[in-house]
Structure 1
Amino acid sequence: MEELDRARLLRTLATLVRDVGWSSERVGHSFASSQGLHPTDFRALTAIYAADLAGSPLTVRELAAQLDLTPAAITYAVDRLTEAGHVWRERGTRDRRTVVLRFGEHGHRVARDFFTPLGHLHADALADFSDADLDACARVLGVVNAALERFDRELREAEEPNR
C-alpha cells in the first residue's frame, strides 16, 4: 500500500474511532436522561458494571480514582445510583472493612431494556462480515484502546506533580 493511501486510511480510522466515542457518549447521555441521572452517574454506572462483570467490584475510592473525581463527588453519585436502585453497596469479601459497589438487578433491567435495541442494530450491521473480518476489527479496536489507555496514563502521570 502506498504511504499516502495508508496515511489516508489511518486518518479515516482515527475519525471513525472519534465518531464512535462521540456517538457512544450521546447514547450514554440519553440513557442517563431517561433514568433521571447525571452524565457523571452514567460514567460511574458503566464503571461499576464493568468491574462487577469482571469479578472485581470497585470501592468508592477506586471509582473516584478511575473517573478522576473527588471521593465526595463520587459519594453523591453513588448515593443517587443507590437511591434509584441501580447499584448497591456490599462488604468486601477479602477485607470486610471495605465496601464495594455492585450493579443491582434494577440497573440490569433498565440497561437491558434501553440497550437491547442497540445490540440488535449492531448485530444487523455486522451480519455480512466474516469471522475473519470481525477478528481483524477486534484486533484493531484492541490496539487502539490500548493506545488510548497508554496516552491517558501518560497524561495523568505528567499531571501528578501538579496536583
Structure 2
Amino acid sequence: MNEDQNAVRTPGPEMETVHLLRRVSVEFGLRQADFAARHGMHPTDVRALICLLDAARSGTPATAGWLGAQLGLNSAGTTALIDRLVRLGHLTRVRDADDRRRVLLAVDARAVELGQEFFGPWLTGMVELLRTFDAREAAAVRRFLLGAHAALAREGGDDA
C-alpha cells in the first residue's frame, strides 16, 4: 500500500474534513433534487441551470455543445434538456451578437428568482458563516475547496 492509499484508509482530521465535504455535497444534491421535483424538472436540469449561471458569472459563452460537455451528455440528450428547460420557461436561446450563426443559452430571470427563493436562505446562512471567518481562515477554506474541486475534476482520480 502506498502512502496516498494509506492516508485515505487512516482515520484522521484530514479524512474527517473530506467526509464533511461529502456530507455537504450530499445535502446540496438533496436540495437540488427537491427543487427539481417541485418545479417539474429532472435533477440534470438543475445541474444545467447551475452550469449556465456559473458561465454567465464568469463571462463564458454558453452554447449547447458547451453545456453538453459540462454535463457529459450527447447532442440528442443536450437538445432534449434544452428544449425541456425552454418549454418550462427557465431558459432562452439567443443569437450571439458577435456571430449570428451561433446560439447562446441564457437562464431566464424567472428561473433565477425561483432559485433565489428556494436556495436563498441556505446560501445566506453560508455567507453569514463565512463572514465570521477572518481573511486567513476564509482563504484557507477557499484554497481547500478549489483544490478539492481540482482533485475531483481530474480524469480517473489520479495524476495520470
On whether the aligned pair clears a TM of 0.5, the verdict is: yes
Instruction: Give the 3-state SS of the residue equivalent to 1:102 in structure 2.
Output: strand
1:92-111 to structure 2, matched below 5 A, reads 92-111=96-115
Cα deviation 1:1-27 (Å, max 9, x = unaligned): xxx9x9612211211121121111111
Partner of 1:113: 117
Could you tell me which of 56, 59, 67 is aligned with 1:55?
59
Cα 1:51/1:127, change in 2 over 3 Å: closer
- 1:121 offset after TM fit, Å? 2.1
User: Unaligned regions of 5+ residues in structure 2, if any?
Assistant: 1-6
2:22 partner letter: R
Query: Percent same amino acid at aligned positions?
Result: 33
Correspondent of 1:11 among 10, 15, 23: 15
Distance across 2 between alignment mates of 1:48 and 1:76: 16
User: Which amino acid in 2 is paired with 1:13?
Assistant: T
TM-score w.r.t. length of structure 1: 0.82
Instruction: Report the 3-state secondary structure (helix = DSSP H, G, I; strand = E; otherwise coil) of the residue aligned with 1:37.
Output: coil
RMSD: 2.1
Distance, in Å, in 2 between the alignment partners of 1:143 and 1:7 is 20
1:29 paired with 2:5, answer no
| Aligned positions of 1:1-163 closer than 5 A | 8-150=12-154, 153-154=155-156
Residue pair 1:48, 1:57 contacting (<8 A) in 2 also? no
Helix, strand or coil for the counterpart of 2:105? strand
Which string of whole-angstrom CA distances, capped at 9 and with x for unpartnered residues, describes residues 39-87 of structure 1?
1111111111111221113111111111111111111111111112211
Asked if structure 2 preserves the Cα contact closer than 8 Å seen for 1:92 and 1:100, the reply is yes
- Within 2, Cα distance between the matches of 1:57 and 1:49? 11
Whether the 8 Å contact between 1:88 and 1:101 is mirrored in structure 2 is: yes
Q: Which has the higher contact order (CA 8 A, sep 6+)?
A: 1
Q: Could you say what secondary structure the match of 1:90 adopts?
A: strand
**TM-score in terms of structure 2 length:** 0.84
Q: Secondary structure at the match of 2:12?
A: helix
Aligned to 2:4: none
| In structure 2, distance between residues paired with 1:65 and 1:125 | 34
